[in-house]
Homo-oligomer: A and B are copies of this chain.
Amino acid sequence: MPSYQPGSDTRNRLLVAAAEVFAEQGFRHARVSDICLRAQANIAAVNYHFGDKESLYLAVVQKLDEESKADAPYMQIEPNASPEEKLNTFIREFLGVLLKTGPSTWLGKLMAREMMEPTAALDYMIEKVIPPVDGVARGIVGELLSMPPEAPLVQLCVSSILSQCMIYFDTKEIALRMRPELINPDRSYDPATIAFLAEHVTQFSLHGMQSMAVPVADMPAGK
């Protein structure tokens, strides 16, 4: 029942095609017939190699996660840069991951989708994918606020920053109708537009945090 040749060509084509389709459509709307079509594989190939659609999805998430551990540009922030520069780089890379096309953007898109519509992969992501990204963001913000990365205020600011990036991914369908000239035929944003948006988010966030560099009220503890 399991795959006997983990390096099988068909198996790999399925993983690549599936990453693309899942990133574009989300787990539920992705059709395994679509995935097989793009992978030039038979409709039964997913079940033969992975058991079922969800296991394939899990395999995609893990594969992309491992690959991104190798080189994820927004995880390797120049340690000597100023915290302001670090934040700008982080935002630019994170926005790119959500708005560009290609393999390096797939895990980010899957993560954004899991947040809105969780599947079994969310547990994996909470454990393995989110902490490193969150850690980098908290490190930068903590530095900016002169606060430990675990401080509740740091968490709030990280949410504010990430949300500003994600909105452009989430509202892509609206942008397509109201500002179609900003989006390429392959549904990616233009690099110039991404750079422009990153600059705005950076400025907005830097100033947003400027006056917060002292400990203030805590999150309410009880429910």
> Could you tell me which A residues sit within 8 Å of B by CB distance?
28-29, 115-118, 122-123, 126, 130, 153, 156-157, 159-160, 162-164, 166-168, 170-171, 173-174, 177-178, 181-184, 190, 192-193, 196-197, 199-201, 203-205, 207-212, 217, 219-220, 222-223
Contact = CB atoms under 8 A, between A and B. Distances in A.
A150 to B, nearest CB: 13
Contact of A204 (B122, B178, B201, B209): B209
Nearest to A119: B173
Interface centre among A122, A168, A199, A200 (most CB of B within 10 A): A200
Contact of A219 (B166, B196, B217, B219): B196
Given A116-B116, A122-B173, A163-B164, A156 B200 contact: yes
| Oligomeric state, in copies | 2
A35 B123 CA distance: 30
> Per DSSP, are chain A's interface residues mostly helix, strand or loop, or mixed?
helix
Nearest to A176: B118
Contacts of A159: 164, 167-168, 171
Contacts of A212: 203-204, 207
B118 A173 contact: yes
Contacts of A190: 220, 223
Contacts of A123: 177
